[in-house]
Structure 1
Amino acid sequence: MNEHVETVVLDSQGLSAWIAQDRKILVMFQVFHAMGADLVIGANTIVEVSHTRVNMPRLRWVLSRVKVEPVTEDAAKASAELLKAAGLHGHKYAIDATVAEVALRQPGPVAMLTSDIDDMARLCGDRVRLIGI
């Protein structure tokens, strides 16, 4: 990755991979760190990655190193507008829309680590560089 990014947003798969210490993700994070990029998640992504087998000490450590953006009423309304503009609706896309909204309000250039390139492309357009994981 040669292009500079200011902010890297993680969806649930990106956050889960970091918690699991996935080597590919850790190498990417070294590159982002060298760029001085901020790592960001939406608050509801914490809920999405939490389950009985998650390593809670590791999750807490990861959360101490990432900026957690709130999902406020205004953010929810903006997320709903993104869904509408993309022709999507329903709970299947709700969290994706909030992650996209978080990405779109960050200082750019913005990249996103996501397992859902297709839906995120519909929600973010060309304003966020999508990196598949």
Structure 2
Amino acid sequence: MKGTLVLDSAGLSGFIAQDRKVMLLIDAALREDRAIVISAATIIEVQHRGVSTARLNWVLSRLKVEDLDKDGARAAAALLRRAGLHGHQYAIDSMVAEVALRQHPPVAVLTSDIGDMARLCGASVRLVGV
């Protein structure tokens, strides 16, 4: 693999909805032989009545889904502390950041939350707004 593209909920939602910008970025990542990765927690975040289960399952079959174990949870909590963030509103962002930081570089994250993700990831990943 030549790097990793990590999708947060906005990136995954864009893939599910076939958003033009997201699909162009995913196609480019595939051409560059990058892994496309999500945190397992992101699956929970994108669930709502309007999401087609069949489409979600198809998209998930094309992604590497990273689980969160005890060590990952502790690492995500440490990212929150270092960034001066706390609470449920940042919990999933910290899990996505933890997944991104342990991927094969170079790593890019598709996110709608550039500010918080920059605080959590630092300069280790490139953030792409969607």
Choose which of 55, 66, 87 in structure 2 pairs with 1:58.
Answer: 55
* Match of residue 21 from structure 1: 18
Structure 2 distance, partners of 1:130, 1:96, is 13
Map Cα deviations across residues 63-120 of structure 1 (whole Å, 9 max, x no partner).
Answer: 0000000011111000000000000001110000000000000010100000000000
The percent identity for this pair of structures is 59
Q: Are residue 31 (structure 1) and residue 28 (structure 2) matched?
A: yes
Q: Using structure 1 for the length normalisation, give the TM-score.
A: 0.95
Q: How many residues align?
A: 129
Following TM superposition, the consecutive aligned residue runs of length 4 or more in structure 1 with deviations greater than 3 angstroms are: none
Long gaps (5+) in structure 1: none
Q: Give the SS at the match of 1:102.
A: helix
* Match of residue 91 from structure 2: 94
Long gaps (5+) in structure 2: none
Q: Using structure 2 for the length normalisation, give the TM-score.
A: 0.97
* Match of residue 42 from structure 2: 45
Structure 1 distance, partners of 2:94, 2:25, is 24
What root-mean-square deviation, in Å, do the aligned CA atoms of Structure 1 and Structure 2 show?
0.7
Q: One-letter code of the match for 2:51? A: V
Give, in angstroms, the shift of residue 23 of structure 1: 1.1
* Match of residue 110 from structure 1: 107
* Match of residue 10 from structure 1: 7
* Match of residue 123 from structure 2: 126
